[in-house]
């Protein structure tokens, strides 16, 4: 990997889901993914080439020193040198990944969201340990932790775009968690409240 990355967008908001819900964060969303999930909310065809230094310059203006590297699949582009650059500027580095590629060791918070259920064997996780495992729950597919050891296990109801179906999925997810207390509920609060 070199020092140039294709970035879909950079923005400042609150983390909307998972363990860090409500925490101010700078989001760096990378273009491109090795999977094709039917519910993905990233435009993989737009974005601009940015050097590591240009990305850093774009994020240091925000008051939070918590950065979330997401996508798409950030591990197609993020390497040890980029993580070290962020750390040198005082950032705590979080990453959201589908888990199919090895992770730089220095990541501070790792969220793995496996997609094998939705894309088949091409999405098989190679990561065996993470900070939080966040699985999409659609009410139809079996729930699995994929053998991944995690500090926290979350199920997140799938957003189908249909309000009635979403309510059914969420209700089924709540009942599943009540019967399987290893899991916790992750809601996409940014969609519910109306921020990005």
Q: How many CA atoms lie within 13 A of 145 on its CB side?
A: 17
What residues have CB less than 8 Å from 61, skipping those under 6 apart? none
Q: How far is CA 137 from CA 72, 119, 125, 145, in A?
A: 19, 14, 17, 12
Burial class (CB in 10 A: 0-12, 13-18, 19+), 145: middle
By annotation, the residues acting in catalysis are 27, 33, 37, 40-42, 96, 190
CA distance 66 to 145: 27
């Amino acid at each position: 990997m070199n020092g140039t990355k294709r970035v879909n967008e950079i923005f400042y908001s609150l983390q909307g889901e998972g363990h860090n819900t409500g925490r101010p964060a700078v989001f760096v969303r990378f273009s491109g993914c090795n999977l094709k999930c039917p519910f993905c909310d990233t435009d993989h065809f737009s974005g601009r080439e940015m050097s590591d230094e240009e990305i850093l310059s774009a994020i240091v203006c925000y008051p939070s020193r918590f950065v979330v590297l997401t996508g798409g699949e950030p591990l197609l582009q993020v390497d040890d040198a980029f993580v070290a650059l962020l750390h040198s500027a005082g950032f705590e580095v979080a990453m959201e990944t589908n888990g199919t590629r090895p992770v730089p060791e220095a990541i501070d918070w790792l969220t793995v969201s496996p997609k094998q259920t939705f894309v088949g064997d091409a999405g098989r996780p190679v990561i065996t340990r993470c900070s939080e495992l966040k699985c999409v729950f659609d009410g139809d597919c079996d729930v699995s932790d994929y053998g991944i050891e995690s500090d926290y296990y979350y199920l997140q109801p799938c957003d189908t775009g249909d309000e009635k179906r979403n309510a059914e999925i969420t209700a089924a997810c709540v009942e599943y968690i009540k019967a399987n207390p290893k899991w916790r509920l992750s809601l996409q609060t940014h969609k519910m409240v109306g921020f990005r």
